[in-house]
Structure 1
Amino acid sequence: MAVQTNTNKVAKSQSIGKYFKNVKAELKKVIWPNKKDLISYTTVVLTTCVMVSVGIWLVDTVFGKALHQIIK
């Protein structure tokens, strides 16, 4: 039993090492955006978040007022 446990520990440590090697190799393949692209992408994401938030707020307000009128 003890031999199997040690073997499992060695196999796990090798698989963890292999995992991090693979992560490093994959990160080298990533094409990182330049500053101009990053600012552009960030602006699009923030604008979209604001627009969706305002839309949800408007729908919530309309349904809230309608529900309030129905309950009255």
Structure 2
Amino acid sequence: MAGGVKSFGKFLQDVVREMKRVSWPTRKELTRYTWIVIGTVFFISVFFAIVDLGISSLVRAILG
């Protein structure tokens, strides 16, 4: 049990050490990347909505 606690403590020390090495984005970069992700999700959602509407209409025409 004690070995598990020691290794967990070492793990946390390693996490802190690695987090200090991380190159964090600036606020401007983070805002820009966030808008890019939101825009991409929006356009992909619209694309799939249009494809779904087209496939639904095609299936209705075939079965109808």
Q: TM-score range by the shorter chain?
A: over 0.9
Taking every aligned residue pair, what percent have the same amino acid on both sides? 31
Number of aligned residues: 64
Could you give the per-residue CA deviations for residues 8-29 of structure 1, whole angstroms, max 9, x where no partner exists?
x011001111111111111101
Runs (4+) off by over 4 Å: none
After superposition, the CA RMSD in angstroms is 0.7
Tell me how far apart the structure 2 counterparts of residues 67 and 26 of structure 1 sit (CA, whole Å): 54
Counterpart residue number, 1:33 = 25
1:67 and 2:59 correspond: yes
Unaligned runs of 5+ in 2: none
Tell me how far apart the structure 2 counterparts of residues 26 and 56 of structure 1 sit (CA, whole Å): 40
Bigger radius of gyration among the two: 1
Pairs within 5 Å for 1:11-50: 11-50=3-42
Unaligned runs of 5+ in 1: 1-8
How high is the TM-score relative to the length of structure 1? Answer: 0.84
